[in-house]
Amino acid sequence: MRAKHLLLTTITLAGAVLFQNCGPQYSFNLDEHLGICGTGHAEAAKAAGLDYLEANVTGFLMPENSDEEFAANKALAATITPPIYSANGFFPGDIKIVGPEADIERAVKYSQTALRRASEIGIKILVLGSSGSRSIPEGFSREEARKQFIDFLKRIAPDAEKNGVIVAIEPLQTEETNFINTVPEGAQIARETGSEYIAVIADLFHMARMKEPPEDIINSADKLVHCHIAEVDERTAPGVKGDDFTPYLKALKSIKYDGRMSFECSWQDIGTQLPKAIQTMREQIQSIK
């Protein structure tokens, strides 16, 4: 029996090695794809060698302003370095997409403009956090709010596909919203839209606040397209308090994540904290390669 067991083990290991050697090898290069939220940080980002910027939908794409008013930001996007890859802050708080005051027609028109302008300047991902827009009012049916949200996403999915821009739901901690607080919850909603252009992000700050396990990243792999990061206690930059992100990084590596990660932090001295944050993340990523 022992000999048979050893033979089966040898065959299994040999098969695993053969499988690993077949097809292209995966390289976990997240350390080369770090960015920062806020176009106002462009100079610091360029000096520190970051890969990209993450803009604000409401402030930069200006979806309810005219194309003429947007022209200056469009021109800036063509020259700014590092380039703008993504944008967050999807809706202002007065545009409701769930609840009795939901204004879906306004939200759809706003989104269509945002998606078109994002495509025009090369933005690939729009992050839909917007706690004020999606929080469920007290007494309103949670089931109905969920249906409203999915129906809204289905309405804008064709425009997202036409423009080649992904709308990524951002799960937020319960202190900010009572709707979509975990990555698997966001991923499931994205699946139910039936669109490849509706996805989810993993914000490691919110995950830590919610005590989400790294397995939530693994279970949402099919819909995960983007990440945010900050330390858990005070939303400080990596390296300030010394948070260890490697459990989450290992989960990202295990799903062969090839997206990007934005620093979304509170900065006291960005000139010194940003290089430290980059160094910290690169060291943690390198430690699991």
Name the residues annotated as catalytic.
170, 264
Torsion angles phi and psi, residue 127, rounded to 5: -90, 125
Q: What CA–CA distance (Å, rounded) separates 169 from 60?
A: 19
Torsion angles phi and psi, residue 40, rounded to 5: -70, -15
**Residue 82 preceded by cis peptide, ω within 30:** yes
> Residue 254 carries which side chain, given as an amino acid letter?
S
Torsion angles phi and psi, residue 46, rounded to 5: -65, -45
